[in-house]
Structure 1
């Protein structure tokens, strides 16, 4: 990792800084209450910061959950102006590394069926499609629902 990029754990004081990224990345984003409930206890997450100048910039973040020996990627976001630069892959790799360090043997995630770029990132990292949840996500257009693809990765 380039030495000006740094991962730091997410805490409650980060919510106000991360919510604009959450809102920009999802058609149906988490609200602040949901986000806050996914910090601490069985949840873990980190933000990726660019510290190359005097005012550090948050590039993205992930939130994971660990239950016994299984981790779930709950959320992963990259600031839209920074997408396409490999930061999603860096966040995913960090999540996998942290899940492994916490004792996870298997990782789970769900991704929108239409989000091909995310699916390719997960496939390239070694995830495989396990199943499909029909009509799981509200559609981004606001009409109807979209399938979720369930993927897993064995550590």
Structure 2
């Protein structure tokens, strides 16, 4: 397994992973827009297969995890944790003081992972995410990197 930087040319395969992993996936166009000077996109490969990826935006000393996505067939094997640890280390290398994210309130597995790695809930956006039968809250979390 290896984690490498991704490029705009990876957006189509990222979109396929999104489609399989998320109920409301980002479009290929939206993913392609995440390649620019404020963004870092990384992918986790096994051999030649992209199994997961992250998208981080950093503005000055604030980093935001926009997306973390792992193929459903590869979930439950610690790959999300591996990707998230890489995001944290990378944010520290780029002098971020805080790493922020938001997650669906129903995504208990992700929330548990974030908490295990030191993230704390700092707020909620009521009814932020669409669901099949309504809306659900976004849980806002952050990790203060100066204490890592």
Question: TM-score scaled by structure 2?
Answer: 0.95
Contact 2:102/2:140 (CA < 8 Å) preserved in 1? yes
- Cα deviation, 1:123-148, whole Å, max 9, x if unaligned, reads 00000000011001001x1x211000
Cα distance between partner residues in 1 of 2:14 and 2:122: 30
Say yes or no: does 1:36 pair with 2:26: no
Work out which of the residue numbers 86, 96, 99 in structure 1 matches 2:91: 99
* Count of equivalent residues: 145
Cα distance between partner residues in 1 of 2:13 and 2:27: 13
Say yes or no: does 1:75 pair with 2:67: yes
Q: Please, what is the CA RMSD of the aligned residues? A: 0.8
Q: Aligned to 1:135, what secondary structure does the other structure show?
A: strand
Say yes or no: does 1:110 pair with 2:102: yes
Residue 132 of structure 1 is matched in structure 2 by: 124
Q: Aligned to 2:89, what secondary structure does the other structure show?
A: helix
Residue 17 of structure 2 is matched in structure 1 by: 21
Q: Aligned to 1:16, what secondary structure does the other structure show?
A: helix
- CA shift, 1:25, in A, is 1.2
Contact 2:98/2:142 (CA < 8 Å) preserved in 1? yes
Gaps of 5+ in 2: none
Q: Aligned to 1:89, what secondary structure does the other structure show?
A: helix
Cα distance between partner residues in 2 of 1:57 and 1:33: 21
Structure 1 runs (4+) deviating above 6 angstroms are none
Deviates more, 1:11-20 or 1:114-123: 11-20
Gaps of 5+ in 1: none
